[in-house]
Structure 1
């Protein structure tokens, strides 16, 4: 625990989860030579097919910060933490958000569109944002590796695939060598030059290599939050 900076570990017997031992168990309980003597055996566990939302509710109601995940045979397959939950809710492409964008396109151009979720080839995506932030990019990379990333929002107009929302996810996908990006695709059914395309043209943004990765600045929302905290700490 000291070396890994983790304050709890699952205990397994032949890969099956049998308990959990924490730093509190080691410090507060009478010393035992084996963890089986101090571990907690009454655990709240999640089946690997449990939805993220349901897992969030369980952890909130039980007041726990991490929860073992087991398969149908009780074999430990992972641990889900509060951090995982927070990351899974960052930049979520909710159905309401997608439907609102779809409706906006229809009203703006007087057309009927179709919506489907699909994997879009990364090299076909045309970005419309000129910068991404390194700290947020790191978060999106983590989500992709953990299978927590939300779909991007893409408009198909003519033979072009315009990336509307999810630039950090898309850039992270490209950096990780992913050939496709999970996306909600709003298909206009015809070739319409979008306003965001024109803006990207003026900015010289045509491919992911044109996007600047800002390393020395933190994301504006993070900077604003820290400014507020600084002001409060100084009594302003």
Structure 2
């Protein structure tokens, strides 16, 4: 079952210690040349760079250094990047494990690390977001497998699994309530491509949302029409009423619009204080 990169040739899950930076690094990297002007780099940062700086490379993409916002403070705009860049940035190799690269990020406090080969050719970058994503993509298949085994055991049927986009509005929830503060966190994850896929059970024309109600509601609030999901398909007609169908029916749930958003911070029993008022 997907994702294939999490499995070795005999189909068993790889140990997390074996997952490498190469599998999760970002290869589309913004860089600057050493002869670029400081003012040009400042303008690019103002335009909204994902990170607060750039790797500095030559025409052959050899890593020469790194220039960050802190390197540009109080520097004349007509100076070259070569005169202000850090010349010995912390780097990682593609064969390094994700676990060890994440430790380097934690210890150095960097947002991302350049990934280079033995010739210091820039291959990509590995960020704290990539580290989070690697953990997400290894956790979700375990949840999927557990759900699949439960369905096959309960209904004596073969359940197919695929990874694909699903229509958010077509999902039938199996949970009555979500929490407003957690929705904000899921929105951030969706906007930064850190959210794990939903888990959906498909039976006939119905799509039951099994895992990811906060993610689905966050997508709905953001106006995202389709989102990635692991879809477990139960053969129509071969089984009786699914437990998920019964849960939704008993709870009166037909769409995400039926889910209650619990903003417990607005609860009348929670006392609010005004920090501008002295007690």
Q: Retained in 2: the 8 A contact 1:88–1:149? A: no
> 1:101-180 maps to which residues of 2 (within 5 A)?
101-180=147-226
Distance in 1, matches of 2:92 and 2:220, equals 32
Report the counterpart of residue 199 of structure 1 in structure 2: 247
Question: How high is the TM-score relative to the length of structure 2?
Answer: 0.57
Equivalent position SS for 2:235: coil
Q: Which is higher, the Rg of structure 1 or of structure 2?
A: 2
User: How large is the Cα RMSD of the aligned pairs?
Assistant: 4.2
Residue by residue over 1:207-236, the C-alpha shift from the partner in whole angstroms, topping out at 9 and shown as x without a partner, is 111112222359xxxxxxxxxxxxxxxxxx
Mind listing any 5+ residue stretches in structure 2 that lack a counterpart? 1-51, 116-120, 267-279
- Would the alpha carbon gap of residues 216 and 174 (structure 1) be closer, same or farther in structure 2, given more than 3 Å must change? same
The equivalent position to 1:58 in structure 2, one of 73, 97, 101, is 101
Equivalent position SS for 2:254: coil
Report the counterpart of residue 256 of structure 2 in structure 1: 208
Residue by residue over 1:49-95, the C-alpha shift from the partner in whole angstroms, topping out at 9 and shown as x without a partner, is x79x955531314633411568xx9699xx86546744774697522
Residue by residue over 1:84-120, the C-alpha shift from the partner in whole angstroms, topping out at 9 and shown as x without a partner, is 7447746975222211210111111111111111111
Q: Retained in 1: the 8 A contact 2:90–2:114? A: no
> 1:38-77 maps to which residues of 2 (within 5 A)?
39-44=85-90, 54-55=97-98, 57-61=100-104, 63-64=107-108, 65-68=110-113
